[in-house]
Amino acid sequence: MILAGEKEIKLVTWNENHFHQLYPLANNPKIAMNLRDSFPQPYTIHDARHWIEHNQKFNPPQNFAIEFEGKLAGAIGSERGKDELRTNVELGFWVGEPFWGKGIATEAVRLYTDYLFERFDIQRVFAQVFDYNGESMNVLEKAGYVPEAILKKAYVKRGTVGDLFQYVKIRGEE
């Protein structure tokens, strides 16, 4: 599956063509510091293989490769809430350092959010951002998300406790 946007940005189902591009792009501590600790660091060839194989089983796709001008630029995906929280989807994304500052993440978030609301019976998409990651906050706001909450002292990363900023987009609200 391919979702095409502006600026030669596409969201593409993970496939073997991404394998040798993924691990060198993802193996960057500047990316890992803005993601949950479950994101491997260092990111190895084995992590890339596992991720691609894991994502090939989803129909419809849940996670996509972000491509810019035909090259792998990052990743975007989500996790749906369980049980009574199934109307929620948590969004996650990252863009490789060579692609920063080009508007790729904003367009990818717009495309992916539209896809979620079109394909799934959900009411809200939210993302949580570490307090030091102003760039991701800007991406979300440019993509139409609004600040919803500040979760005080909600994370510990590299020995530091900090606040999580939560952004949301609700079905039917602009």
Burial 150-171 (b: 16+ CB within 10 A, else e): eeeebeebeeeebbbbbbbbee
- As a whole number, mean pLDDT of residues 72-81 equals 96
Domains and CATH numbers, the chain: 2-170 (3.40.630.30)
Judge if pTM exceeds 0.95. no
pLDDT at 29 over 80: yes
Q: Which of 81, 157, 62 has its CA nearest to residue 119?
A: 62
Whole-number pLDDT of residue 144: 97
Can you tell me the distance from the alpha carbon of 71 to that of 69, in angstroms, rounded to the nearest whole number? 6
Whole-number pLDDT of residue 5: 63
Write down the H helix ranges in the chain: 19-26, 29-32, 45-55, 104-119, 134-142
Whole-number pLDDT of residue 60: 87
For the record, the structure tokens of 89 come out as 């989807």
**For the chain, how many helices (H) and strands (E)?**
5, 8
Whole-number pLDDT of residue 3: 61
141-151: pLDDT as tens digits: 999 999 999 99
Percent of residues, the chain, with pLDDT higher than 90: 88
Whole-number pLDDT of residue 1: 56
Whole-number pLDDT of residue 59: 86
Q: Tell me which amino acid residue 57 is.
A: K
